[in-house]
Structure 1
Amino acid sequence: MKRKLTELANWLDAPGQLLEGITVTGATIDSRNIREGELFIPFRGEHANGHTYVRSAIENGASASLWLADEPNPPKDIPLLFVEDAELALQQLARSYREQLVCKVIGVTGSNGKTSTKDLLASVLGAGFAVRKTEGNFNNELGLPLTILSLEEDTEVAVLEMGMSGFGEISFLSNLAKPDVAIITNIGEAHMQDLGSREGIAKAKFEIIEGLSSDGSFYFDGDEPLLTALVNDHPELDARAFGYGDACDVVAKDIKVTEQGSQFTVSGQIEGQFTIPVYGEHQVKNALAAMLVAKKLGMTDEAIRSALLHAILTPMRMQPVTAKSGALFINDAYNAAPTSLRAALTFIGQTELRREKWVVLGDMLELGQDERYFHESVADELANLQLKGIALYGPRMHWLYDELRKRNTTVELIWTEDDYAPIIEKLLQSIDERSIILLKGSRGMALENVLKGVLETEA
């Protein structure tokens, strides 16, 4: 964004001071990371008042700041816009700027795979367009408007991730972003405690169609009956399904794990053999969504194939890391829910990259009243895998530990509640060039510390 401060005042219908001659080139709510020309938006909370940092924000490069109308003693020598509510003002700025953008907007939501799909979209579309995407986890009611305001004027495609924890949140984000294409990657169990059931999660995710442009397209996981039922209730949608079932509009089959990543054959609206530089059948499905969007925007199958081969994903999503010992870690520690855990375990069960297989699992969070069931049921998945060892981390994983002990398994088994060290020590004693180790847990468990501990000890 590059707009005069006077124009922003009109967008907000807000009075101000020292507005003339000031240009704004974005917005931020963090006074510590100001970029030249940004508008600083101070929030007032229980423990901190952002107005305290307005002057330092200006000194660090901000061109102007918002100021809450009921906050006393506004500085007289700083360009300010006076607003009633900082959050609403931020959202209105993004809404007004979005109305002026001519780029295509791709909205992505889902229980799992949002970030990977976003990354795959940006990589593929980046081969033919000027693409911007959501950075980090800026995917909520504050992050999304900040992302929109960060879009440069020459952006041709914006890939916007949309997260949620309850009903109404995706609806709000969709109506703010006004996507030309909406994607639901899948329906899992995350946020069960807030939404009550997978049916509730599906309905909450499906809110993404509410802001979809009248001539927009909707792409969804065609292997999920809950989404298929919702789509059938909306015959007006230009909807396309991606997945493994023959009824999908684009289908992936013959998935093979290679040293280069995942190789698969696609049929339907896109044809041929493709490779992505990341492991897991679930990542193949994420790639299908990206391929459908690229096809809609006019890219050839060959261009899509080449771009996918060189795709770059955010770390800790089925990320291969080779230790000094030669052991291969699959770092999928960014997050975990039952659906994504099953997908990662399926990969470990099928892969022939290494003979000796380990899994390191951390607690799955935000599963509500059924969290014990979801943890204990992983024992059934693990029982079908030929594993050398299982390491469990976190208080909830004790439920799984007890289930596995009941089975008198001969697999090496370790559990620790809050200390990575025993797991690191066990791995260092056990793994070598024959080993592959999956790391999978919710973000709060930070299982990447296990990998870090192994690598640092080996160094």
Structure 2
Amino acid sequence: MKTFTEVLLNYFQKLNINLPKNLEIDNIQMDSKKVEKGSLFIAINNGYNYIDEALKKGAELIICDKSPTNESEKIIKVLNSIDFLQNIAKLYREKLCTKIIAVTGSEGKTTTKDLIHGVLSTKYKTQKTLGNYNNQIGLPFTLLQLKESDEIAVLEMGMSNLGEIDLLSKIARPDYAVITNIGDSHLEFLKNRDNVFKAKTEVLNYVNKNNILVYGDDFYLKNLEALKIGFENKNDYIINNFIEIYEGVNFFLNNEKYFVPLNGLYNVVNASFAIALGKIFEMSYDEIKNALKNIKITSMRFEKIEKNKILFINDAYNASPVSMKMALNAFSSLPLNKKGSCFR
């Protein structure tokens, strides 16, 4: 990570802090269990309690925001470890040529992220948000995992209040943005869908309107200047002729036939975002079609589990009223017979 090491040295040089000579950072960690020789360990929250462990494991440098008891030159104290994480990630991102795709919305972020990554990674060196690392800590940490050779990164952006997507966008500086929908998530803090819309669309201040993709049938998103995807004829990418089978859904997008191995029409929309971005990144129809039918997504998203001829649907990761309704609709339309077996 030569570029990152240079960014780190310049960052502390401006603060008149001298780092150890011949510093070489090979990886960045927030979990002391994963620290190894060459690691930069950023002690977030109670990570301060594991500094000695990180040193014993060979950490090259440790960042913390409490006065260290150890006098090692490898320990650097900053005002706030989270602020440091965000600042250094922003500076590192500015040095990368990686194209950043931001994915946000009330429902479907993770599945859409997985679908986009699954399609683009068949042609380009593509990374994606690690697990559910989509907040003010997880997103900058994910950025710091990127290598100079990565061509595309698909980053999920979550939030619970106004201003949070704006912060993540300032750090990531996305080249493309996807907004899946506007629903009832986060109403505890945002109170109504108008505020959810305001919060989710903060990302648009950082992206050229030609690189914005939204669900065009959404009441709030349909009037944005963007590429629109949906079932209505006014959209730029029109979904029709969909047929649900046990294994997934066959559908047409702008008169081209595709198959996604996921059930539910909402997943057809999610897959269509991946198709559109595949075309934007100059992938052929066959490349996109073949990538999509072999897709793998994060668990607990309408995950089918078969046991003793009984079908269980695990859609338990995180449920809002809208996503629960979508899952129930998908379940009710799921064919019960598969290869002679009857599920109940």
Residue 250 of structure 1 aligns with an amino acid whose one-letter code is: Y
Partner of 2:51: 54
Scaled by the length of structure 2, what TM-score is found? 0.93
Residue 160 of structure 1 aligns to which amino acid in structure 2?
L
CA distance in 2, matches of 1:298, 1:306: 15
Gaps of 5+ in 2: none
In 2 relative to 1, CA 211–36 (structure 1 residues): closer, same or farther, beyond 3 Å?
Answer: farther
Amino acid at match of 1:309: K
* Structure 2 residue 282 is the aligned partner of structure 1 residue 298: yes
Q: By how many angstroms is 1:119 displaced?
A: 0.4
Q: Kindly tell me the number of residue pairs found equivalent between the two proteins.
A: 342
Q: Matches of 1:354 and 1:20 in 2, distance apart?
A: 67
Counterpart position of 2:214: 220
Question: Are 2:63 and 1:66 aligned?
Answer: yes
User: Hey, what does 2:333 align to over in structure 1?
Assistant: 350
Amino acid in structure 2 at the alignment position of 1:11: Y
Change (3 A) 1:242 1:94: same
Could you say what the CA RMSD is over the residues aligned between the two structures, in angstroms? 2.1
- Single out whichever of 128-137 and 30-39 deviates more from structure 2: 30-39
CA distance in 2: counterparts of 1:36 and 1:190, whole angstroms: 42
Asked whether the 8 Å contact 1:179–1:216 carries over to 2, the reply is no
Is the 1:180–1:216 contact (alpha carbons within 8 Å) kept by the matching residues of 2? no
The alpha carbon displacement at 1:228 in A equals 2.1
1:417-453 CA deviation, whole Å, 9 max, x = no partner?
xxxxxxxxxxxxxxxx5334xxxxxxxxxxxxxxxxx
CA distance in 2, matches of 1:343, 1:103: 34
Change (3 A) 1:51 1:349: closer
Which amino acid in 2 is paired with 1:42? A
Cα separation, 2, equivalents of 1:99 and 1:18? 22
State how far apart, in whole Å, the 1-side matches of 2:173 and 2:121 are: 21
CA distance in 1, matches of 2:144, 2:68: 28
| Superimposed CA distance per residue, residues 221-272 of structure 1 (whole angstroms, 9 cap, x where no aligned partner) | 101121123x1xxxxx5x10011111111111122222432111111xxx41
User: Shift of residue 215 of structure 1?
Assistant: 7.3
Change (3 A) 1:289 1:170: same
Instruction: Please tell me whether the aligned partners of residues 101 and 155 of structure 2 are also in contact (alpha carbons under 8 angstroms).
Output: yes
Tell me how far apart the structure 1 counterparts of residues 77 and 298 of structure 2 sit (CA, whole Å): 38
2:165 aligned partner: 170
Q: Deviations over 1:275-305 (max 9, x none)?
A: 1111111111000111111111111122111
Q: Which residue of 1 aligns with 2:33?
A: 32
Larger RCO, structure (CA 8 Å, separation 6 or more): 2
Q: Distance in 2 between matches of 1:288 and 1:61?
A: 46
Aligned: 1:190 with 2:194? no
3-state SS of the aligned residue for 1:88?
A: helix
Alignment map for 1:246-285 (pairs within 5 Å): 246-267=233-254, 271-285=255-269
SS at match of 1:286: helix
Deviations 1:67-91 (A, max 9, x none): 33xx334533342333221111111
255-264 vs 302-311, which moves further? 255-264
Normalised by the length of structure 1, the TM-score is 0.71
2:81 is equivalent to residue 86 of structure 1: yes
Does the Cα contact within 8 Å between 2:165 and 2:200 map onto a contact in 1?
yes
State the match for 1:288 in structure 2.
272
CA distance in 2, matches of 1:141, 1:88: 9
Matching residue of 1:401: none
* Cα distance in 1 between the residues matched to 2:158 and 2:36: 26
Distance, in Å, in 1 between the alignment partners of 2:318 and 2:301 is 9
Other structure's SS at 1:228 match: coil
* Cα 1:35–1:241 shift into 2, 3 Å: farther
| Match status 1:240 vs 2:227 | yes
Is the 2:104–2:158 contact (alpha carbons within 8 Å) kept by the matching residues of 1?
A: yes
Query: Matches of residues 131-210 of structure 1 in structure 2 within 5 Å?
Result: 131-210=126-205
**1:331 matched residue in structure 2:** 314
Q: Distance in 1 between matches of 2:5 and 2:259?
A: 47
CA drift of 1:36 comes to 4.0
Distance apart, 1:56 and its partner CA: 1.1
Shift of 1:220: 0.4
Matched, 1:435 2:339: no
1:176 Cα offset (Å): 1.0
Pairwise CA distance, 1:216: 5.7
| Distance of 2:76 and 2:149 partners within structure 1 | 27
Seen in structure 2, the aligned counterparts of structure 1 residues 6 and 286 have a Cα distance that, compared at 3 Å, is closer
Larger gyration radius, structure 1 or structure 2: 1
- Residue type at the aligned position of 2:215: D
Q: What's the offset of the Cα at 1:337?
A: 1.2
Give the distance between the partners of 1:259 and 1:43, measured in 2 at CA: 45
Residues 7 and 91 of structure 2 are in contact (CA less than 8 Å); yes or no, is this contact kept in structure 1? no
CA contact (8 A) 1:40 1:62 kept: yes
